[in-house]
């Protein structure tokens, strides 16, 4: 974990990182303000990798947050389980590590797209008929839509009424995004 970064990101893959990077840049953070934890080395279960590294990152974050303004962003797909279930799994990781629960005012944001991050990207890009059960990872439109989707989310996250027909997992992410001090 970087001592200089104001924001630490634990994410599943490069698309999560690109989406969050663009969101943070739009929020005014610079490249030196953001540190991305290393991605999983193999093609194994990236969701499991994030869960298994969550408690360590929270512990490190809490120790460093006392000395500097920091935010921890955790991006993990819900895949085929509910967003609430993924939240419970993260809370369980803290409990198993003997760490206190995440508090309501703690700047630790959980971004949990239902199915996967590609679902959010295409939805925010106003792609018609996007749902939270279809796997869009192979959709050719995703790469070009990452930056505009992240910027749309930032531009409208503080004023949710400007976003219409949000997917349930995106609606759940809005209070999480407000944990990121801007």
Chain segment 82-134, per-residue pLDDT in tens:
999 999 999 999 999 999 999 998 999 999 999 999 999 999 999 999 999 99
**Spans of all domains in the chain:** 7-177
Task: Please tell me the predicted confidence (pLDDT) of residue 165.
Answer: 78
Structure tokens at 11: 């994410």
Phi-psi region of 79 (alpha: psi -120 to 50; beta: other; left: phi over 0): left
Interval 7-34 mean pLDDT? 96
CA dihedral 9, 37, 40, 170 (to 10 degrees): 0
- CATH node for 7-177: 3.40.50
In this prediction the pTM is 0.93
Distance (Å, whole) CA 155 – CA 142:
19
């Amino acid at each position: 974990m970087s001592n200089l970064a104001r924001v630490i990101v634990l994410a599943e893959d490069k698309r999560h990182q690109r989406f969050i990077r663009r969101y943070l840049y739009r929020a005014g953070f610079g490249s030196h303000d953001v540190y991305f934890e290393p991605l999983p080395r193999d093609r194994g279960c990236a969701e499991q990798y994030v869960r298994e590294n969550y408690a360590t990152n929270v512990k490190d974050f809490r120790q460093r947050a006392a000395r500097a303004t920091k935010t921890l962003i955790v991006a993990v797909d819900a895949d085929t389980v509910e967003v609430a279930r993924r939240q419970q799994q993260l809370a369980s990781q803290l409990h198993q590590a003997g760490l206190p629960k995440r508090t309501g005012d703690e700047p630790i944001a959980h971004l949990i797209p239902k199915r996967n991050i590609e679902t959010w990207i295409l939805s925010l890009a106003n792609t018609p008929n996007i749902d939270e059960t279809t796997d869009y990872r192979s959709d050719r439109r995703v790469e070009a839509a990452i930056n505009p989707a992240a910027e749309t989310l930032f531009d409208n996250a503080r004023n949710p009424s400007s976003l219409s027909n949000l997917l349930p997992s995106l609606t759940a992410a809005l209070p999480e995004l407000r944990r990121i001090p801007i």
